[in-house]
Chain A
Amino acid sequence: MANPVAAPRWRFREPNVLPGFRLALGFTLIYVSFILLIPLAALVARPWENGLDGFIATLLDERVLKALRLTFSVSFMAAAMNVVMGLVITWALVRYDFPGRGILDAMVDLPFALPTAVAGIALTSIYAPNGWVGGLFSPLGIKIAYTPIGIWIAMVFVGLPFIVRTVQPVLQEFDAEVEEAATMLGARPLQRIRRVILPALWPAVITAFSLAFARAVGEYGSVIFIAGNMPYKTEIAPLLIVTKLEQFDYAGAASVGLAMLILSFTIILLVNIIQLLLSRRGLK
């Protein structure tokens, strides 16, 4: 006799009266395979043309190493800056009522909406030595465009909305009673922020940081105009892929691309682990 409490039989889908499962599944899988999976398989398969040694030799090339280091370090600094200023902007948007608040809120999404090439040429003309802002700094001997500072500014531009849009809903939902309780228990404003509000925001801030960071690492359009693209100095990793493709070095281009993906995903994974540890500590 069958045991009625035996573990449920393994099944691919739970029963449901709604129609269209096979059609939707078939269409979705075929679409995802053709548009995402097969192309990505080509990326994963390509670097090994000259074996593992070829892959490693490509990455250990001085020029590739410099480009990867520049891309990841400037992306990190841009995301860090965005966390600071993003929190200031989010705080102003959520906590205070001031004239122009609606416009400020809508403007936050502009870097998402503005095509990257447009942002790129605009930033370049602002920060070039004869530009509106670049012109203020060039008499002091400080160059912004065509240096890593210019790359950093472009990455700050594209990353800003990720911070605001990730932290905003969390800050909006933050329980005001907890804050009031802290005030009544004698916490000063800065103590309140440091001890009560920031710990609650950390998970969102870390998520936002990793989104802005990932975006900056892959960014191309807004960076290449302002970067100057000098090999070993201001050449970013995505540009190196383009350069290798132009030399018909498919395996080399795929190697750099795959390395970028692996590095990005490793960093995002690490960030998620840190986030998990932080939230566990918060629960205790």
Chain B
Amino acid sequence: MKTSAPRRPDAAAWALILLALAWMALIVLLPLVTVFAEAFSKGFEVFKTAIVEPDAQAAIAMTFTVAAIAVPLNAIFGVAAAWLIARFEFRGKGLLLSLIDLPFSISPVISGLVWILLFGASGWFGAWLQAHDIRIVFAVPGLVLATMFVTLPFVARELIPLMQDQGSDEETAAVTLGASGWTTFFKVTLPNIKWALLYGVLLCNARAMGEFGAVSVVSGHIRGMTNTMPLHVEVLYNDYDLVGAFAVATLLACLALITLGVKTILEWRFADELAASRRH
């Protein structure tokens, strides 16, 4: 089969390309430029003050804390789920796959709401938690749980198709020759999936650090206590501190740009070692 290679555009094609470029500039590029323009609109000093201010620093630390717990857990889950789904045939596999995909099609607000329904003051376990003086929602555990819910599919979704493509021949050979399960995993499987794992972790982390809706519902917006960076942006914006809001937003925009950069490099350099069919 011959696939069509990109060719030099003619006049009609140029019109189409310009339309595509103009739309991308308006819808995607302009918001990005705006973030930086607004952040530096009152000069670098004002920008710096907004970043080093204690509440902003606390929000940055909170964002890293939440991601540092949620992302490794979801990475371990992704590897376990991929091992299970790509290496074994069992009943109910399709159901499990759709279940893992579910958070992609659920509103972030609902992803936060479910935790309030469980652990909020009049939630299922609310009274018990209060009696034992344990705080989950409006505290760090709630932020972590909501983030885990939203980012659960990222690593699994990257690894499952890749490991299904690769097949289990190498691992079967290792096990047949007497390697233990863990040796097989660390010496055979992990080297085969390492770039895809990094790719999945990268996307998972970007979403974990940038998540807004789900953590907004469970955070309670306690300044300096339960605000992550995106929540801090909202607080500042609603206080009409536009420069402050956009200053913190530039940090998140830089995170997005770095993520995109590394992602592009991975796709370009290790295309064969990443999942061929990817939806996100």
A contact set with B: CB distance below 8 Å? 12-14, 16-21, 23-25, 27-28, 31-32, 35-40, 42-43, 46, 85, 88-89, 91-98, 100-101, 104, 106-119, 121-123, 125-126, 132-133, 153, 156-157, 160, 165-166, 169, 172-177, 179, 189, 211, 214, 217-221, 225, 238-239, 241-242, 245, 248, 250, 253-254, 257, 260-261, 264-265, 268
Contacts and interface: CB of A to CB of B under 8 A. Distances in A.
A132 B37 CA distance: 11
Given A96-B6, A100-B21, 20 more contacts: A13-B89, A17-B175, A28-B77, A43-B110, A85-B27, A88-B19, A92-B17, A95-B7, A101-B6, A110-B256, A114-B31, A121-B249, A122-B32, A157-B31, A218-B110, A248-B121, A250-B116, A253-B116, A254-B113, A265-B105
A18 B263 CA distance: 32
A218 B210 contact: no
A36 B6 contact: no
Contact of B120 (A14, A241, A250): A250
B197 interface: no
Contact of A177 (B1, B122, B230): B1
Contacts of A111: 28
Contact of A220 (B35, B152, B213, B249): B213
B224 to A, nearest CB: 18
Given A16-B89, A121-B237, A157 B230 contact: no
B69 interface: no
Interface stretch (B8-16, B49-57, B127-135): B8-16
Q: Nearest 7 A-B pairs (CB), nearest first? A: A218-B107, A115-B210, A39-B114, A19-B181, A220-B213, A221-B212, A122-B31
B31 A123 contact: yes
19 contacts: A18-B172, A21-B87, A31-B80, A35-B145, A40-B114, A85-B23, A91-B20, A92-B16, A106-B260, A114-B210, A115-B212, A115-B252, A115-B255, A117-B210, A156-B27, A174-B3, A218-B108, A221-B212, A257-B109
Given A36-B152, A88-B19, A156-B27, A43 B116 contact: no
Contact of A117 (B109, B114, B230): B230
Contacts of B84: 21, 24-25, 28
Nearest to A157: B27
B117 A95 contact: no
Nearest to A218: B107
Contacts of A40: 102, 114
Interface of B: 1-4, 6-9, 12-13, 16-17, 19-21, 23-24, 26-32, 34-35, 38, 77, 80-81, 83-84, 87-91, 96, 99-100, 102-103, 105-110, 113-118, 120-124, 145, 148-149, 152, 168, 171-172, 175-176, 180-181, 184-185, 206, 209-213, 216-217, 229-231, 233-234, 237, 242, 245-246, 249, 252-253, 255-257, 259-260, 263-264, 277-280
**Chain B binding site: helix, strand, loop or mixed by DSSP?**
helix
B117 A104 contact: no
B109 A242 contact: yes
Nearest to B102: A36
Contacts of B81: 24, 28
A165 B280 contact: yes
B87 A217 contact: no
A17 B124 CA distance: 43
Given A118-B35, A175-B3, A132 B210 contact: no
Given A177-B1, A245-B116, A122 B110 contact: no
Given A32-B99, A117-B230, A248 B4 contact: no
A217 B9 CA distance: 37
A109 B116 CA distance: 32
Contacts of B122: 248, 250
A248 B126 CA distance: 13
A238 to B, nearest CB: 4
Nearest to B12: A189
A166 B279 contact: yes
Contact of B28 (A115, A157, A174): A157
Interface centre among A93, A214, A253 (most CB of B within 10 A): A253
Nearest to B9: A96
A242 B20 contact: no
A261 B106 contact: yes
Given A118-B35, A118-B210, A218 B28 contact: no
Nearest to B173: A17
Nearest to A161: B280
Contacts of A239: 109
Contact of B113 (A25, A89, A169, A245): A245
B280 A94 contact: no
B77 A122 contact: no
A160 B20 CA distance: 12
A118 B23 contact: no
Contacts of A126: 30-31, 34
